[in-house]
């Protein structure tokens, strides 16, 4: 499960999580008193067969997909769903698509990374080195399907928000692949640092301290600096989004 893997990464990185939530319910003749270690901000429901469903509840209404929602392109639809997953505590991937004779995509599926089955072909062969991942496929049905709409638009044909696995806690979402991307501000900071012989790793750690941690969003962050004739740093100014808003 994704939570178990994230816990391993979190322990090695020194991250901490908040208190886990608990739920209880009757399932047939058996009473389930506790379902522990649900480290996520999600609504949890129990189906008649005893399985658990999770719905992200920490996402703003404007960031949640809905049926008949229209996007100008597939890429914009994918970015929207990917951001929804980032806020909701799960990662997404592209999968099945249907095209016409001209190569135009008529139908495209975007799913939770836990959709489908694990590849068991290499499990029986210990000689095959396994890649470390932060997710395991567990037949999760959460998805968004886009359908082509004339002219050159895409509409949300199907949206399923129920997940069959716990969602990641806020403190663990910083390890998502989507959060490893560097925005233009951070790229410029590392690039300019290289000009004064400051390595990328040091500049990234420096940026982490300015942002207040890896998990913080650098959007709205502003910085400026000056160097002398010997390329030594002598002036530095930065302001995060909160500071700019207060100003």
Cα–Cα distance for residue pair 198/193, rounded to 1 Å: 5
Supply the pLDDT for residue 75. Answer: 94
Same domain for 68 and 87: yes
Supply the pLDDT for residue 1. Answer: 47
**Whether this model's pTM surpasses 0.85:** no
Same domain for 63 and 119: yes
Give the end of a domain, one of 180, 212, 229.
Answer: 180
Q: Which two tokens stand for residue 32?
A: 């389930």
Q: Which residues on neighbouring strands pair with residue 213, listed in sequence order?
A: none
**Among 39, 30, 160, 19, residue whose Cα is nearest residue 89:** 39
Same domain for 52 and 93: yes
Supply the pLDDT for residue 187. Answer: 77
Same domain for 166 and 70: yes
Same domain for 99 and 213: no
Beta carbons within 8 Å of 181's beta carbon, 6+ residues apart? none
Percentages (nearest 5) of helix, strand, coil residues in the chain? 30, 25, 45
Cα–Cα distance for residue pair 184/189, rounded to 1 Å: 9
Distances (CA, A) of 145 to 59, 67, 156, 227, 237: 20, 9, 6, 51, 45
Q: CB neighbours (10 Å) of residue 123?
A: 10
Domain that holds residue 152: 2-180
Q: Can you tell me whether residue 224 is helix, strand or coil?
A: strand
Cα–Cα distance for residue pair 3/134, rounded to 1 Å: 8
Supply the pLDDT for residue 162. Answer: 92
Same domain for 204 and 173: no
Beta carbons within 8 Å of 220's beta carbon, 6+ residues apart? 240, 241, 244
Same domain for 102 and 59: yes
Supply the pLDDT for residue 66. Answer: 96
Same domain for 147 and 26: yes
Encode the chain (247 residues) as per-residue pLDDT tens digits. 445 555 555 555 443 333 333 333 343 434 333 343 444 456 888 878 888 889 988 788 899 999 999 999 999 999 999 999 988 989 999 999 999 999 999 999 999 999 987 665 555 566 666 666 544 788 899 999 999 998 889 999 999 999 999 998 877 776 777 666 666 777 777 788 888 888 877 877 777 777 666 555 455 566 777 878 887 888 888 776 667 767 7
Count the domains in the chain. 2
Supply the pLDDT for residue 24. Answer: 37
Cα–Cα distance for residue pair 156/145, rounded to 1 Å: 6
Same domain for 152 and 56: yes
Supply the pLDDT for residue 179. Answer: 65
Same domain for 161 and 41: yes
């Amino acid at each position: 499960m994704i939570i178990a893997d994230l816990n391993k990464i979190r322990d090695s990185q020194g991250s901490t999580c908040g208190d886990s939530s608990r739920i209880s319910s009757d399932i047939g003749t058996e009473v389930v008193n506790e379902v522990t270690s649900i480290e996520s901000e999600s609504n949890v429901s129990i189906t008649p067969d005893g399985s658990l469903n999770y719905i992200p509840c920490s996402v703003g209404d404007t960031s949640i997909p809905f049926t008949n929602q229209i996007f100008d392109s597939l890429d914009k639809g994918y970015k929207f769903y990917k951001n929804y997953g980032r806020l909701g505590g799960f990662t997404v991937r592209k999968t099945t698509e249907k095209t016409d004779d001209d190569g135009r995509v008529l139908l495209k599926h975007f799913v939770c990374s836990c959709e489908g089955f694990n590849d068991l072909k290499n499990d029986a062969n210990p000689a095959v080195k396994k890649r470390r991942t932060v997710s395991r496929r567990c037949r999760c049905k959460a998805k968004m399907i886009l359908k082509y709409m004339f002219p050159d638009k895409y509409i949300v044909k199907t949206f399923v928000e129920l997940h069959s696995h716990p969602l990641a806690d806020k403190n663990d979402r910083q390890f998502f692949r989507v959060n490893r991307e560097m925005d233009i501000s951070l790229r410029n900071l590392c690039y300019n640092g290289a000009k004064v012989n400051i390595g990328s790793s040091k500049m990234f750690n420096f940026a982490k301290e300015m942002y207040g941690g890896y998990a913080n969003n650098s959007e709205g962050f502003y910085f400026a600096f000056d160097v002398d004739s010997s390329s030594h740093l002598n002036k530095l100014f930065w302001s995060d989004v909160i500071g700019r808003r207060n100003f």
